[in-house]
Amino acid sequence: MGAATILAGLGVAGAAVLLFMTGANDVANALGTSVGSRALTLKQACVVAAVFEMLGASIVGGSVASTLGDGIAHKCQFASPVTFVACMLSALVSAAMWIALATKYALPVSSTHAIIGGVVAGALVDGGAGAVGGPMLLLTAVSWVTSPLLGGLASALVYWGSRRLVLNAPYPEQRSEQAAPFLIGGTVAVLVFFVMLGVSGASVLRDIPWWGFLLLFLGMFFVCAVIAKLLVV
């Protein structure tokens, strides 16, 4: 049995451990609000997470893996393919250990930060600074700062609009029934576009002009809002 086979087997085991620990910690990011608002029970949230986390990894996980293997770390700069696999395995194991420790103490950490840190460290040890993708790493680091800010701004705007137009309306129950299809439709449309971008990449959506992208999004929003009105509300 060669070194590559052994490392591949260890990689599968490490990925399984990391998957378990990620589920224990990171799923709360996506479903914590649903459980907290009692829209879902804890058991229902576990089922939803098991199904859709697996679908997300299967459908759009390839682009993320490609970014780690080609953007964050340049595998061509490693001494050999075996050392590249060893680097990725080390990142898996170290991230799993850190997330396990953080989960024990209920710390809301990011598995993405842990994985990228492990990959960068392995690339530096094996291939030096040339093995690290500086532009992609910088872009990723910038997104770590801008994402919470933009997410907070979007959340504030949605909540401000909901409070002003729904919660403080003379008949909030009736107004909530009117607003729900738009909120659900907008959320589903955004998620569908994320999936489409992850699957098709630059070959479809990123090559169309901005106005075409906007029209496509508005059409998706309208369809999702109508379905929400008919099936949910």
pLDDT tens, position by position, for the chain (233 residues)?
677 778 778 888 888 888 888 887 778 878 888 898 888 898 999 898 888 888 877 777 777 777 776 778 877 777 778 888 888 888 888 888 888 888 888 887 888 888 888 888 888 888 777 778 778 888 888 888 898 899 999 999 989 998 988 888 888 888 888 888 888 888 888 888 777 776 655 455 667 777 877 888 888 888 888 888 888 76
Size of the chain, expressed as the number of residues it contains? 233
Q: Could you give the angle at the alpha carbon of 95 between the alpha carbons of 67 and 93, nearest 5°?
A: 100
List C-alpha distances in Å: 207 to 66, 98, 201: 20, 40, 9
Q: Is 208 helix (H, G, I), strand (E, B) or coil?
A: coil
